[in-house]
Structure 1
Amino acid sequence: MAIHPIEFRYGTPEMKAVWEQEAKLQNMLKVEAALAKAEGEIGLIPKEAADEINRKASTEYVKQERVDEIERATNHDIAALMKALQEVCDDDAGEYVHYGSTSNDIIDSSQSLQLKESIEIIRAKVVKLIEVLIDLAEEHKDTVTIGRTHGQHALPTTYGMKFAIYIDELMRQLERLDLTQKHVCVGMMTGAVGTTAALGDQGYDIHMRVSEILGLNPVQISNQVVQRDNHAEFIMTLANIASTLEKMALEVRNLQRTEIMEVGEKFDPEKQVGSSTMPHKRNPITGERICGVSRVIKSYVNVALANNPLWHERDLTNSSSERIILPESAILTDYILNLSIKLFSKLDFYDENIEHNLNLSNGLIMAERFMSKLTQKGMGRQSAYALVRSCSMDAYAQDTGLREILSQQEEILKYLTQEEIDETMDPHTYLGSSTKFVDNVISRAKDVIGE
């Protein structure tokens, strides 16, 4: 019976396939095969034995059921793997399985293969999301909306700016992913305390060759394990990506509030149900799920950091938690990336509400511009600020428009005509360098993801 939501509710088939039990077994067999191949090339074991191990190091021959059966007796997963592989090898080839290595040479190197594949899947999804956001930024580069700080109306901005900020942040996440892959996706064949002593004088060459066969960079130095600051970096990078996706989803959720309703999730009125009791509801469920799942991913950062300080050359405290946090973080990050692509590919825009909200403050959002205009016309900046602030407070108190209050001030009319006052109060023309910023972000993103 399925228990964990990853089993039946969350996750994509491609990422689940990376972490399923048989895939994990196949990767461990791949490392055992690489070890035998390297040793056979150098002459540490008979080449015929190395060839036989490579032929049989596959889940076609080594079955998960048999490995599990042996592990129940040995209470050791790698000892079970060794025996199951030995059993299917012809002649005496099985005698040379795992020669000169320790369990974590197999575990960490095979795990690196899983992490590498996971990062590649996640990276492709981040690129896809960036492409979706580029389309939105280009389409809405000139869609003027109200910018909000502290939840209050601040100054005009554009939806192009909103989407370009997300693009820029996701570009940094790509850089973090690439650096993380370099650090964590490493091969290791260094033995019980990292010295390669069991492999003799050829130990270093075996270590280097195994990594080459596996397509991994060889770890520079280790004890019994690849150092867990690397794995903590992996979890922190995924948590950082999750925080970006949560930020984006949270903005959509807020903008879909009934009293704002500028953009919202696509809703199918023919099929979709918003509430079991309120027939009118159209809830931002995709955004809410992204935000909720991101909390789980971020919570694993503390566990990953705690896994770095181990006793001496290694203890076992990292192992059990990593069996949970590594696959779950990868699966859940990939999942909410899929949700984010879906969400932003099908946003609904409510243009009338965008314009309505832009003018909701009755001109108060143009106070900064008016202050700057007076300064440009010769009034001192501090004097201009004090005057416009006084007029703004009067507009609040009288519940009237700022334009009307400003137009009644003799001090202002010394510097500006009524026509200039009207022009200054237009929020659609107070956007500064927003177009340039958006264009620069889009151009850079296209250059990088097009490479």
Structure 2
Amino acid sequence: AVGTGAAQGDKARELQALILTHLNLGVPLVTTQVVGRDRYIEWVSWMANVATSVEKILQEVRNLQRSEIAEVAEAFDTEKQVGSSTMAHKRNPITSENACGLARVVRSMLLPTWENALMWHERDLANSSAERFTLSHSVVLLDDILAKSDKVFSNLVVDAERMQTNIDAQKGLVMAEKVMLELVERGVPRDEAHEVLRTASMEAISSGAHLEDVCARTPPISALFDGDELHALFEPTGHLGVSGELVDETVELARRALD
């Protein structure tokens, strides 16, 4: 930024464009001695947003690794890693935890970045000392977060059997919506179908029975479905919908963006 360009003469704008083009940077329309900090706000906000998006996924990994869920987990080197200095059995999602903590630090850079946009007469140095931390640290931390997330995702352990066990532990209750919607498809008014499944679900919960068994002996349901049809509604694979297509489209979109 060269302000009015008085020191560079008539070629000031040409010189500015030449240097910025060489650096592969955009040419700002109007500047003082410094560029406006709104672009820094956008930049740090973008980094905080990326860090947060990654943290959301890693947070899910941490939760799904809990002993009572145990559906996915970070890879664990049993020869070298120690989960706890006292509890020898532990396998903590340490990389995910570390990255999540760093994401919080990146988000903390937002407030000083906003504050740095306020300069006395468009030029004081209160922003300078802060930006030595906010800009450099945000970049370095985000890079580390992405590297850690790549490590986690590339080696993620998925326990499909445990997922099935957790589904089975619900004794069909998570499939209630599927049955209700199929009742509606077969002509039962929605409110009535909802009440039928609500009553059946409450009975299953109180008795400890599987919802499929309760539905099989519930007249409004058994009158419309034979045993095989009812059983098919309780198959977990029937609840995937178009999730596979959505995942493929999202991955393809990300690949195009990277290219």
Band of TM-score, shorter chain: over 0.9
Which one of the candidate residues 346, 350, 354 is aligned to 2:155?
A: 346
1:119-158 equivalence runs, <5 A: none
Structure 2 letter corresponding to 1:338: A
Residue 378 of structure 1, CA deviation: 1.2
The alignment status of 1:236 with 2:45, answered yes or no, reads yes
Structure 1 letter corresponding to 2:193: A
- The two structures, once aligned, show a CA RMSD in angstroms of 1.4
Residue 227 of structure 1, CA deviation: 0.4
Structure 2: distance between partners of 1:412 and 1:216 = 66
Which one of the candidate residues 380, 400, 423 is aligned to 2:189?
A: 380
Local SS of the residue matching 1:274: coil
Contact 1:378 1:415 in 2 (8 A): no
Instruction: Quote the residue 1:15 is aligned against.
Output: none
Structure 1: distance between partners of 2:32 and 2:113 = 18
Instruction: Quote the residue 1:291 is aligned against.
Output: 100
Residue 390 of structure 1, CA deviation: 1.2
Residue 309 of structure 1, CA deviation: 1.7
Structure 2 unaligned regions, length at least 5: none
Cα–Cα, structure 1 residues 213 and 416, in superposed 2: closer, same or farther, change >3 Å?
closer
Instruction: Quote the residue 2:210 is aligned against.
Output: 401
Which one of the candidate residues 161, 164, 167 is aligned to 1:358?
A: 167
Local SS of the residue matching 2:76: coil
Runs of 4+ in 1 over 4 A off after TM superposition: none
The alignment status of 1:432 with 2:236, answered yes or no, reads no
Structure 1: distance between partners of 2:97 and 2:163 = 22
Which one of the candidate residues 310, 319, 322 is aligned to 2:119?
A: 310
Structure 2: distance between partners of 1:307 and 1:439 = 41
Residue 426 of structure 1, CA deviation: 1.4
Local SS of the residue matching 2:4: coil
1:3-402 equivalence runs, <5 A: 188=1, 190=2, 194-402=3-211
Residue 256 of structure 1, CA deviation: 0.4
Structure 1 letter corresponding to 2:187: G
Which one of the candidate residues 225, 228, 231 is aligned to 1:422?
A: 231
Structure 2 letter corresponding to 1:253: R
Residue 351 of structure 1, CA deviation: 2.2
Percent identity of paired positions between Structure 1 and Structure 2: 40
Deviation per CA, 1:199-252: give whole Å up to 9, x if none: 233322222222234332222111121100111111111111110111111111
TM-score (norm 2): 0.95
Alignment length (residue pairs): 259
Instruction: Quote the residue 1:124 is aligned against.
Output: none
Residue 286 of structure 1, CA deviation: 0.4
Structure 2: distance between partners of 1:288 and 1:388 = 40
Structure 1 letter corresponding to 2:51: A
TM-score (norm 1): 0.56
Structure 1 unaligned regions, length at least 5: 1-187
Cα–Cα, structure 1 residues 432 and 351, in superposed 2: closer, same or farther, change >3 Å?
closer
**Larger Cα-atom Rg:** 1
